[in-house]
Structure 1
Amino acid sequence: HLGATRALKELVPNVRWDDKSIYGVVFSYDSDRIDDILLPMMNAAYELSRDEGWGNVMTGQGSVKAAFKYICKRALGQPHVCLIPHVWRSDAVKKFFGPKNLGPNERRYKRYCRIVSAKVAMPVFLSRPDMVGMYTQFMGGGTCIVLHNVKRGMAFCPPEGES
């Protein structure tokens, strides 16, 4: 599925482990521009979840609570971060999370889950970043990106009609 994402297809083949949830890629990339591939990476993870029929794609009313609970049940702890589309303004953040669930400056959900604007197409909940999600390691001019435990540690909240 990483190979199926056009933006990454030309970079490298993917490596797939037995549980169908771990992918690894190594390629040369400017580390200052690593955010530019965040959208293709998250889209690839979403496509994998959708195509494999995993239960980590949440839609409809209550999707934010369902995504949060999904991570809590499958990971070692609650979601550590939620990536939101960088184009979202304050009103969209309040509408999605519910104003009562937000911390100061609308940057925390349920007290501990950080809300981070990123180049993503939809909200993506991630469990502890040292366990799951996207990890980068700089190796002699190359960047290693590992998208791992997609099935257990990532939950997607696509807009209505995109699931």
Structure 2
Amino acid sequence: MLSLSAYRSLFFPLGTDDLMEAQIQQISPAALAYIGDVVYELHIRMWYLMPPKQSRLYHQNVVAQVRAEQQAHYLQVLEPKLTEEEQRIVKRGRNAATKLKPKRLSPTIYQQATSFETLIGYLYLTNPERLTELLGCLPIATSESNALLQDHCRDNL
């Protein structure tokens, strides 16, 4: 298992000082969601990496977590914990999502999922520590480590 510092250096190669706030504000919500999608899927893949499983089970677990419906649910889980700035980013993501017509989802689910990905992308670029905290609040799997994260999240965020 990777140490937390090794995980952070692998998962968050950009430090918080690498991009200026003005540069980040110029990044479109769609681009933030694009980055957020990749970062979130990598987080989920790392989460399910251990214990080893058959490829089919690994894939099923990951796909279940990266579906738009699940991301929309996770946004609802996180919303009470978000700062004003994070809520503003979520709103930017939601407004950007209204320009596209989803094929298999309701517009609301699509907007929430895009908002979730926008938030993840934004925090990846601006505050990896906060992103780590919020990702730790997601009820991804039932395990002892997840239960400890949930307790920490409930008590501290």
TM-score higher than 0.5 here?
no
Higher relative CO (CA 8 A, sep ≥ 6), structure 1 or 2? 2
**Which structure shows the bigger proportion of residues in strand conformation?**
1
TM-score of the superposed pair, with normalisation by structure 2: 0.36
